[in-house]
Structures are given as structure tokens and as C-alpha cells.
């Protein structure tokens, strides 16, 4: 069956395994996050590396987001091709061809009052983007953020003095060619998002905020304005917001809420989000019912780790079933369920992926369902525009 033929059909018509969005839950997540940002007077720039869909990025922007983040120039290109006009690459880019792509996209979007912006953490990175901007001729300028490492131990210079030479180098390009502008600091602590207790997350971000404040003060003392600090994810954004230092939130996963995030202790300061991304699977093999409850009793579903990423843990079964089955890895194409009152051969089982970003990247489409996973019907087919956009 053609995918578009599914539109208007009941959920039961969706073949398995399939990536399904509960559109009602997603909409509630979208509104909760946007109203948090609006109420607190902070910009929201959701991370589109999570859903990789220009359509969903546009919906987030229609609701009030200033633009979206991506991690890769090819993701940025997919967003721009889908009509997104404000894209920030919150990551390091060193290769010249990639910088040239960003410079071209930025030129295109500047003409539409939009922009592409970029993070840097090295003089070479600055030199390369400046070189690429030069090939575009005069008239376009790229916003560049200096990334500081606030605990992720990934990209970024150490907080403090090390950021200053980078700010100076950007300022040099700003004054000579006007091709770059120092737009502020990127400060994102990824590991803090998944610290399980709310107190641990709060403490981690308290340290982050001190590092950001110290770096910002140092840059300002050297005579440079720091227009914006951008960062934060779905696990900690209320703390970055409360600091008063951050001006922009980059949370992404809140829109779909995966099983890994659901394992975090809830934080009363943050809005709560619902699972909105599911794998629809079907029981394809079942041990005989003659031995119910026997140690080897199992139901095998047709979704293995080709259907969902397992880097952050295995999927959970959706509690909406009223049953608590434990999913264990059956390999590429299988998942093995154990528990009580297991589903029967042919039954549908809804799985909540452990990690939404790499799960989405395994699929070319997401099926948007309205009216719930049991009674609802397919409303739209959402393309994963940046699927496989790894460069």
C-alpha cells in the first residue's frame, strides 16, 4: 500500500513496524514548552536534530520558536530546503566544503530575513568559515557563537580566558570584512540532561551557570558585548532559564519524550511532557499458552534494533496497554516480551523508544495519528527530511 493511502484510515491499518507520532500528545508538548519560554521571556530554538523534519520545525516556529538548531550542515540544508529560514548549527564545522555550504545557505536566507548561524571552538574553525564567507562576496554576515565546554567534555574551549582569543578573531573579521559577527556563547551540558535526580541536575547546571557568568564577564571586561548565551536541553532548561544568564533554550526531545527521559525524576520546576513517539509493532511469535507464566513464556514482536535505537536503553512497552511487559533485545528484527498476561499472536504492541533522535534517523517517514493510538486514525505522513544527513 502507498503510504499516503493510509491518511484517513484507522490506526489498525498501519503495517508494522512503523514509527508513529501521537499528534495530540505532540501538540500538548509543543504548547507546554513554548508557553514556558514565553512566560519566562526566553527564546526557544528547539533542536531539530531530534525530529529531522522541516514540517515539524515550521510548526515549532509558528508556535513562537525563533528558529531551530541542527548539528550538521547537511541537516541545515534539509531544513532550508523544507522552508525553514532560521537555522543554527550548534556544532563545530571544520571542512571547507561544509563551511561553503553554510555560507551559501546563509546568503540565501539573509535575502529572506533569515539566517544560518554557527558555533566555533577553534581559530581554524573561524578561519574556515571566514574563508567560505569570502567566496560569497560582500553583503552577508554570519552570526558565530563561541562554544565553551561546561561539563560535557566534548567540544568547546574551557570556560574563562580560552574563549577570548576566539572572540577577538571573530571581531577582527567583523571589522575587516564584516563577514562574521560575534553573537555570543554556546554552553550546553548534555550529560546533565540525563542525571536521574532533579537535585543532581540542578547542581550540575548551577556549576554551568557559574562558568558561563565568569566567561561572559571576562569577555565583557575585554570590551566585547556578549549578545546571547544559548544552550540547555529537555532535562534542565528550567535551571538555565532561572539563571537569567541564558537568553535561548535549545531543548529538542521534549517534543517526543523518549523512555530515557521518562526515567528522570520529574522536576516540579519544569512542565511535564508526554510520550508522543512510538513504534507500532505486532506479536509475530508466541510460546504456547499451555504453560502460562512459565519461565520461558514469551511474546516476540517484529521490532528489533533496526526499528529503534538502543544506545540509551531498550524500548519500554506503552503503559497505556494496562500491562507491564519487559522488552528484551531479540536482535535486528525481533523484540522479546516477558511478563504477565502477555499479548497474543497478531496483537499490536506499542513501544516507546529509548532515544528518539537516532530512532527517527532509522525511518524515512513518521505516521501522524490523531485521536489516540487505539481509536485514532492517520492524519498525515511526516517525512524525515534529514534522515541520514550525517555530514
Ligand X SMILES: Cc1ncc(COP(=O)(O)O)c(C=O)c1O
**Between residues 10 and 190, which has the closer beta carbon with respect to ligand X?**
190
Residue 47 in the binding site for ligand X (CB under 6 A) = yes
Reference 347, options 297, 284, 305, 295; nearest CA is 284
The dihedral built from the CA positions of residue 303, 308, 309 and 310, taken in this order, carries a sign that is negative
Q: Which is nearer to ligand X, 23 or 50 (CB)?
A: 50
233 binds ligand X (CB under 6 A): yes
Residues 79-108 that bind ligand X (CB under 6 A): 90
Nearer to ligand X, 159 or 335 (CB): 159
Q: Is 241 in the site for ligand X (CB under 6 A)?
A: no
On whether the CB atoms of residues 99 and 128 are closer than 8 A, the answer is yes
Contact between 18 and ligand X by CB under 6 A: the answer reads no
Does residue 188 bind ligand X (CB under 6 A)? Answer: yes
Residue 352 binds ligand X (CB under 6 A): no
Residue 336 Cβ, how far from ligand X at the closest point, in Å? 29
Give the number of residues in contact with ligand X, rule: CB under 6 A.
Answer: 13
Which span sits near ligand X by CB under 6 A: 123-131, 250-258, 317-325, 362-370?
A: 250-258
Determine the interface stretch with ligand X among 60-68, 135-143, 249-257, 324-332 (rule: CB under 6 A): 249-257
C-alpha triplet 159, 163, 167: angle, nearest 5°: 150
- Residues 330-349 touching ligand X, rule: CB under 6 A, are none
Q: How far is the CB of 293 from ligand X (least distance, A)?
A: 39
User: At closest approach, how far in Å is the CB of 290 from ligand X?
Assistant: 46
Q: Which is nearer to ligand X, 140 or 186 (CB)?
A: 186
Burial of 254 (0-12, 13-18, 19+ CB in 10 A): buried
CA 335 to chain centre: 26
45 belongs to the binding site for ligand X (CB under 6 A): no
**What are the grid coordinates assigned to 260, written together?**
530515557
Is 247 a binding residue for ligand X by CB under 6 A? The answer is no
Q: Which is nearer to ligand X, 11 or 116 (CB)?
A: 116
Instruction: Name the residue with the smallest CB distance to ligand X.
Output: 233
Q: Find the shortest distance in angstroms from Cβ 171 to ligand X.
A: 24
Output 233 or 335, the one with its CB closest to ligand X.
233
Min dist CB 211 to ligand X, Å, is 16
Q: Does 173 bind ligand X (CB under 6 A)?
A: no
Q: Which of residues 296-325 bind ligand X (CB under 6 A)?
A: none
Verify binding: residue 253, ligand X, rule CB under 6 A: yes
CB of 313 to ligand X, least distance (A): 14
1 exposed, middle or buried (CB, 10 Å; 0-12, 13-18, 19+)?
exposed
Q: Are 68 and 88 in contact (CB under 8 A)?
A: yes
Task: CB nearer to ligand X: give 193 or 282.
Answer: 193
The verdict on 250 binding ligand X (CB under 6 A) reads: yes
Residue closer to ligand X (CB basis): 125 or 335: 125
Nearest to 236 by CA among 214, 213, 207: 207
Does 234 bind ligand X (CB under 6 A)? Our answer is yes
Q: Which of 251, 309, 352, 384 binds ligand X (CB under 6 A)?
A: 251
Q: Does 140 bind ligand X (CB under 6 A)?
A: no
Residues that bind ligand X in the complex, under the rule CB under 6 A: 47, 50, 69, 90, 188, 190, 193, 233-234, 250-253
Amino acid at each position: 500500500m502507498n503510504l499516503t493511502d493510509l491518511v484517513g484510515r484507522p490506526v489498525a491499518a498501519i503495517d508494522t513496524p512503523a514509527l508513529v507520532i501521537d499528534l495530540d500528545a505532540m501538540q500538548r508538548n509543543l504548547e507546554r514548552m513554548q508557553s514556558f519560554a514565553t512566560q519566562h521571556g526566553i527564546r526557544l530554538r528547539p533542536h531539530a536534530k531530534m525530529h529531522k523534519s522541516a514540517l515539524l520545525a515550521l510548526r515549532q516556529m509558528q508556535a513562537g520558536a525563533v528558529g531551530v538548531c541542527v548539528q550538521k550542515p547537511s541537516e541545515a540544508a534539509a531544513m532550508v530546503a523544507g522552508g525553514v529560514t532560521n537555522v543554527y548549527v550548534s556544532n563545530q564545522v571544520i571542512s571547507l566544503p561544509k563551511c561553503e555550504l553554510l555560507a551559501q545557505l546563509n546568503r540565501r536566507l539573509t535575502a529572506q530575513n533569515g539566517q544560518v548561524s554557527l558555533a566555533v571552538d577553534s581559530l581554524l574553525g573561524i578561519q574556515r568559515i571566514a574563508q567560505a564567507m569570502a567566496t560569497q562576496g560582500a553583503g552577508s554576515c554570519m552570526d558565530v557563537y563561541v562554544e565553551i565546554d561546561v561539563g560535557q567534555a566534548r567540544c568547546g574551549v574551557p570556560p574563562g580566558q580560552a574563549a577570548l582569543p576566539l572572540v577577538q578573531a571573530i571581531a577582527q573579521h567583523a571589522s575587516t570584512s564584516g563577514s562574521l559577527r560575534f553573537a555570543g556563547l554556546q554552553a550546553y551540558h548534555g550529560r546533565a540532561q540525563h542525571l536521574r535526580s532533579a537535585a543532581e541536575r540542578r547542581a550540575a547546571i548551577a556549576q554551568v551557570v557559574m562558568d558561563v557568568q565568569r566567561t561572559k564577564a571576562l569577555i565583557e571586561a575585554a570590551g566585547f558585548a556578549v549578545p546571547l548565551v544559548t544552550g540547555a536541553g529537555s532535562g534542565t532548561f528550567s535551571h538555565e532559564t532561572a539563571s537569567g544568564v541564558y537568553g535561548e533554550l535549545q531543548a529538542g526531545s521534549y517534543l517526543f519524550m523518549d523512555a530515557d527521559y521518562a526515567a528522570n525524576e520529574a522536576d516540579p520546576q519544569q512542565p511535564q511532557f508526554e510520550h508522543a513517539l512510538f513504534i507500532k509493532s505486532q506479536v509475530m511469535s508466541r510460546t504456547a499458552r499451555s504453560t502460562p507464566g512459565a519461565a520461558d513464556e514469551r511474546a516476540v514482536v517484529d521490532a528489533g534494533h533496526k526499528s529503534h535505537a538502543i544506545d540509551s536503553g531498550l524500548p519500554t512497552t506503552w503503559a497505556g496497554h494496562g500491562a507491564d511487559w519487559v522488552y528484551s533485545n531479540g536482535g535486528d528484527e525481533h523484540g522479546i516480551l516477558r511478563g504477565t498476561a502477555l499479548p497474543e499472536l497478531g496483537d499490536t504492541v506499542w513501544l516507546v523508544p529509548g532515544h528518539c533522535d537516532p530512532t527517527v534517523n532509522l525511518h524515512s517517514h513518521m505516521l501522524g495519528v490523531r485521536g489516540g493510538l487505539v481509536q485514532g486514525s492517520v492524519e498525515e505522513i511526516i517525512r524525515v527530511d534529514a534522515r541520514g544527513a550525517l555530514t
